[in-house]
Amino acid sequence: MRSSNPARAHRRPTVMPEPDGRAGEKGWDMRIWLVTGASRGLGAALVAAVLARGDAVVATARVPERIAGVGPEHEERLLRYRLDVTDPDTVRRAVAAAVERFGRIDVLVNNAASGLLGAVEETSVDEARTLFDTNVFGVLSVTNEVLPVMRAQRSGHVLMMSSMGGFASGAGFGVYAASKFAVEGLAEALREELAPFGIAVTIAEPGVFQTDFASVGSAQAGRSIDDYRQVEETLAEYDDGEPGGDPAWAATRLVAVVDRTNPPLRLPLGADAVARISGKLTAVAAELADLT
């Protein structure tokens, strides 16, 4: 595979949008971000962090009117746009609007996702398919629409929002974790495929954060089996446990990783994520040692 200059992935545009939103000749050191799932949770926190940094962002959601308002000093650097990752037409229109408004896309954040709680046997194929339509095929759709823009630029950074469950699964989260495992598999391949074009790929693996993902953003498997009552109790304890980390902190970490000259493939977010990932690595290392 051809070699590339890692710094290319972090080359920044030097234009500021004119009042009509198009790129002008006035110098301004800023990146253009496209964020899916920007109306709540980590997505909303990231939009705020990106704007505070001085970058521009195309904040997308199925209902863009729900994307939080910003101060007047940020409005010219914010484009709210409708994007449903399961609807290819909205994906195409959103990417085209981003390029029309700002002239390029420097960072793609695949943040839009749904959750699904329940034992694997309790989960129907239709429920799993609906989840994968958003979490996997939606990510593939958006990424494949943005990559021609980044390849033409010979620069960019793709942030895949996974989960600590995308590295280490567990009872009650099996199908959701499977969707995130798929995302991580795509990201690992993309990192190698896109390196020759100066495009970086990073997988973010958040632990538990103070968002409504577990309640509003997650569905419960439609079937309940008595033998898995312990799994349900564990899920209830999880939902009633510690409130989790601050999304604003996670957002600053995501912004910082894009600034790195050699960004990592994986970025665990939160002590719980680090502990879970480390625990799996230790267990796998022990299993490998037993084989030698």
Pure H helices in 136-215 = 138-153, 174-194
Concatenated DSSP letters of 37-85: STTSHHHHHHHHHHHHHT-EEEEEESSGGGSPP--TTTGGGEEEEE--T
- Flag whether 18 is in a domain: yes
Separation between Cα atoms, residue 138 and residue 91, nearest integer Å: 9
8 Å CB contact between 123 and 225:
no
Angle between helices 41-53 and 247-259 (to 10 degrees): 50
- Flag whether 151 is in a domain: yes
8 Å CB contact between 31 and 13:
yes
Q: Which DSSP helix (H) or strand (E) runs through 228?
A: none
Tally of domains in the chain: 1
- CATH code of residue 282: 3.40.50.720
Separation between Cα atoms, residue 56 and residue 225, nearest integer Å: 48
- Flag whether 104 is in a domain: yes
- Flag whether 1 is in a domain: no
Please state, in angstroms and as integers, the Cα–Cα distance from residue 133 to each residue in 66, 229, 260, following that order. Answer: 22, 28, 32
Task: Pick left, alpha or beta for residue 172 (phi over 0 → left; psi -120 to 50 → alpha; otherwise beta).
Answer: left
Residue 110, classed as helix, strand or coil, is strand
| Residues catalogued as catalytic | 162, 176, 180
Separation between Cα atoms, residue 222 and residue 178, nearest integer Å: 18
Separation between Cα atoms, residue 33 and residue 29, nearest integer Å: 13
Going residue by residue through the chain (292 aa), what tens digit of pLDDT does each one get? 343 443 344 444 433 343 333 343 334 479 999 999 999 999 999 999 999 999 999 999 999 999 977 777 788 999 999 999 999 999 999 999 999 999 999 999 999 999 999 999 999 999 999 999 999 999 999 999 999 999 999 999 999 999 999 999 999 999 999 999 999 999 999 999 999 999 999 999 999 887 765 555 578 899 999 999 999 888 877 665 566 789 999 999 999 999 999 999 999 999 999 999 999 999 999 999 999 8
Q: Which residue range is the domain that position 207 belongs to?
A: 6-291
- Smallest Cα–Cα separation from 41: which of 278, 254, 265, 272? 254
Token representation of residue 195: 């390196």
Please state, in angstroms and as integers, the Cα–Cα distance from residue 244 to each residue in 70, 211, 213, 248, 249, following that order. Answer: 25, 8, 12, 12, 11
Phi, psi for 268 (deg, rounded to 5): -65, 140
Q: What does the CA dihedral 144, 145, 149, 154 come to, rounded to 10 degrees? A: -10
Predicted structure pTM score: 0.87
Residue 190 CB neighbours (<10 A): 18
